Amino acid sequence: MLRYIELKTGFNDDGPAWIGRVQMSRSGRTVYFNGKAFNRSGPGGCGSHYDLETGDEYWISGVKRDGSDRHRAGSGRITIEADAVDEYLRLIGASGLDRSRFIVSNEVKPNDPSRFHEMENRTLEDSRWPLPSVAVNDQPPGHTGRTTGPGTDPSGPV
């Protein structure tokens, strides 16, 4: 499956960009490309996915048939995976690549989804973030620990 991938963190619409073959997780929530794993982002960010290891935001989308994958305000050449060139040209109906817009590369790293599967599914105890060293109040916000209802405490309102 061909996808357009563009780094958004630290860039406007002119970050490094690739067109290449990706792998998807069974759930469709994780995209694997160039040795990285990208999870879907929630609303509010500038990217549609984030790098599972670094947190960098990326825009990942299908390849556009008219060849206009970069944002209209963006610039820069797109690196296309050498093994994906023929499929891309068929998809857009072109006979050759415009070398002023593309760099053909054999440097795309293989994917190892199993490495990321372990990372995504570790338990809290195995997490890279340490557990809190102080007691944590597990009561809902606003809970005072009292057993009487509001207005029944002689000391006044809470």
Task: Report how far residue 155's alpha carbon sits from residue 157's, in angstroms, rounded to the nearest whole number.
Answer: 7
Write down the pTM of the prediction: 0.72
Distances, alpha carbon 62 to alpha carbons 4, 69, 70, 129, 154, in Å: 6, 9, 12, 34, 65
Percent of the chain predicted with pLDDT > 70? 75
Q: Is the pLDDT of residue 129 over 80?
A: no
Task: Report how far residue 69's alpha carbon sits from residue 80's, in angstroms, rounded to the nearest whole number.
Answer: 12
Predicted pLDDT at 156: 52
Joined tokens for residue 29: 């929530």
Reported as a single tens digit per residue, the pLDDT across 8-66 is 999 978 899 999 999 998 888 899 999 999 998 877 667 889 999 899 999 999 999 98
What residue type is assigned to position 139 of the chain?
Q
Q: Where exactly are the structural domains of the chain? A: 2-124
Q: Is the pLDDT of residue 124 over 50?
A: no
- Smallest Cα–Cα separation from 38: which of 50, 47, 29? 50
